[in-house]
Structure 1
Amino acid sequence: MLFIHVTVPAHTAAVEFVDGTPVRVLESGRHRRARRATYREVDLREQLLSVSPQEILTVDGVQVRVSAAVRWTVADPIAWLERAADPLGLVYLATQVALRDAVAGLTLDSVSQRGAGLDAATLTAAVDATARPLGISVLEVVVKDVILPTEVRAATLELATARARGAAQLESARAETAALRSLANGAKLLDDHPALARMRLVQSAPFGTQLVIKLGDEAANDA
């Protein structure tokens, strides 16, 4: 049998087929091969599968739209090439089903905060169980967006606006109360100290009026 060499690029594996049957997986590097053999390269780098938003009913009957992303890599090159005609399509479907099962058991409040109620580990395990026989390792399933109905978004905005308006009114009332308390303390201080009251009156009056008030006070003192 006559041999030549085949070079497998970095981050890649090559599946060797002899007479149409997969025989072995070659890692990156230079390998000897038979002329009868054919090779198919498989990218082993981490990749991303985006799952478009799908409409799901929560346990309280509100319809939300949820999207996700799946981090995955090929774990078994032969299974990746041989088990399914469209392995990523099956992983996509498994992700949709896992999201539907997870959201269907939660209330709207649980999923409204970017899927805060969804357990990423549970989602990942569910999708990985389907992906493993296809030669795929699912590293993580990430919930990207949770889109609420227009009516719910409007109600949420109205509630946030009302809270902000109430907080502003409360702060204004606190400032007004502090100002009145300061005025009351000042008035009491002036009542207790008449000389201070006259001094305050002189300071607040125009210059000509200040002179008249000062002369009147001096005359009163002389008398």
Structure 2
Amino acid sequence: MFKKLIIQTDERGLLFRKGSYEKLLQPGTYRFSPFSEDTVAVLNITKPFVVQGKDLQLFLHDEKLVQELDVIQVLDHEYVLHYEDGKFAALLSAGRYAFWNVLKKHAYIRVDTRNPELPAEVDTAVLPKLTGYYQVLEVANYESGVLFYNNVMQQELKPGKYYFWKGPVTVSVKTVDLRQQQMDLTGQEMMTEDKVTLRLNFVYQYKIMNPLRALEIKSFEDQMYIQLQLILREYIGTLKLDDLLKMKQEIASFVLSRLNEKSQDYGVHFISAGVKDIILPGDIKDILNTVLLAEKKAQANIITRREETASTRSLLNTAKLMDENQTLYRLKELEFLEKICEKIGTISLTGGGNLLEQLNSLLGGEKHG
């Protein structure tokens, strides 16, 4: 009795004779003798062409079979994105693959991982299905990025998110902060022209204008720090201590001007600068405090003498007016009398004499109640 085999429309059969592939069987009914050594592998054509235990190369000599297959060869440095009927199906790494082209329409995007950037035709919507095959590098909106392949600079990157294949090329991005930044120089010991050693706190603000230039400089911030030290030492060494204490603003202007002479070398623009503190040695501080105290005392003495002179001059002017004007003299008498009345209850005047003289004598005496 014959063995019957039915191959459905969405299937194909692979006939093997004595273990070797013979030919492709189309959909239909087939009968085989019970004594036959023929075997048939039935494959679903909606799935990839895979025969367990057999290499794909064994079947590629069959032209009829090959016509119904898409055969894809992926090299070691490649990835192939496989789409079925417009939908992403899988990422194919190095190897050989075959897909039935009968019921489904296949499309492929071949990428060379030696050029790591994901091509524009790869929709980022499929990236969650590619985990492990790519990396994401970001440049913030206040930064500029510089792209490196195997530590070789490629290009400058604007703010954004960038995707790169993981492969034979090492990809890295170095970022440069473009916001206004500040550098502080604190507690720097310097010597003035008159050999006074002091400590200086200085600050300046800057912005990086040429990120590529900034990245070319090793230890960028350290070099700018040393440059500031040298400029300050050069300038402070030309000033005496008294001049230095009076010229804080001039120091800042000079340093800012000298720094901007170097702006092209560092790829930055220096915005502002200023002296925060000048810290003097204890003995110098005591001397300056003594000098300041003496100056203030001298100023106070001058003011006191000036006030005394003005008071004496005022009394002299009043006396002259009283000598020349009897009415004013009588008013002065009444003023004295008013003062006396504020202090005592009754007044007894005896004898003759000038009223003003008697009242004057009463002001120095005891109260009478």
Q: How does 1:37-116 map to 2 (within 5 A)?
A: 37-84=171-218, 86-113=219-246, 115-116=248-249
Contact kept, 8 Å, 1:115 with 1:146, in 2: the verdict is no
Residue 188 of structure 1: CA displacement? 3.1
Contact kept, 8 Å, 1:56 with 1:66, in 2: the verdict is yes
The aligned amino acid for 1:74 is: I
- Which fold has the larger relative contact order, with Cα–Cα distance below 8 Å and residues 6 or more apart in sequence? 1
Contact kept, 8 Å, 2:146 with 2:157, in 1: the verdict is yes
For the residue of structure 1 that corresponds to 2:251, the secondary structure is coil
Residue 64 of structure 1: CA displacement? 1.9
The equivalent of 2:347 in structure 1 is 209
The equivalent of 2:277 in structure 1 is 145
Deviates more, 1:197-206 or 1:67-76: 197-206
**Superposed CA offset, 1:63-118 (max 9, x none):** 1222211322223323333431x211111111111111111112212211363442
Give the structure with higher Rg (CA): 2
What TM-score, normalized to structure 2?
Answer: 0.49
In structure 2, do the counterparts of structure 1 residues 149 and 113 end up closer, same or farther at CA, with 3 Å as the change threshold? farther
For the residue of structure 2 that corresponds to 1:209, the secondary structure is coil
Contact kept, 8 Å, 1:110 with 1:116, in 2: the verdict is no
Q: How does 1:186-197 map to 2 (within 5 A)?
A: 186-193=318-325, 197=329
Residue 170 of structure 1: CA displacement? 2.2
Structure 2 gap ranges (5+): 1-110, 112-117, 125-136, 356-369
- For 2:156 and 2:191, the matched residues in 1 are separated by 45
More strand as a share of residues: 2
- For 2:313 and 2:261, the matched residues in 1 are separated by 69
Contact kept, 8 Å, 2:202 with 2:275, in 1: the verdict is yes
Q: Cα RMSD over matched residues?
A: 3.3
For the residue of structure 1 that corresponds to 2:182, the secondary structure is strand
In structure 2, do the counterparts of structure 1 residues 87 and 204 end up closer, same or farther at CA, with 3 Å as the change threshold? same
Structure 1 gap ranges (5+): 218-223
**Superposed CA offset, 1:37-66 (max 9, x none):** 432322111110111121111112111222
The equivalent of 2:80 in structure 1 is none
**Superposed CA offset, 1:107-146 (max 9, x none):** 21221136344262x4235445666445444334432222
Contact kept, 8 Å, 1:65 with 1:146, in 2: the verdict is yes
Residue 16 of structure 1: CA displacement? 1.1
Say yes or no: does 1:165 pair with 2:297: yes
The equivalent of 1:182 in structure 2 is 314
In structure 2, do the counterparts of structure 1 residues 49 and 28 end up closer, same or farther at CA, with 3 Å as the change threshold? same
- For 1:176 and 1:21, the matched residues in 2 are separated by 84
- For 2:194 and 2:250, the matched residues in 1 are separated by 14
Contact kept, 8 Å, 2:190 with 2:233, in 1: the verdict is yes
Percent pairwise identity = 24
Say yes or no: does 1:10 pair with 2:141: yes
Aligned length: 213
- For 2:256 and 2:312, the matched residues in 1 are separated by 61
Contact kept, 8 Å, 1:203 with 1:210, in 2: the verdict is no
What TM-score, normalized to structure 1?
Answer: 0.76
- For 1:89 and 1:46, the matched residues in 2 are separated by 17
Deviates more, 1:74-83 or 1:194-203: 194-203
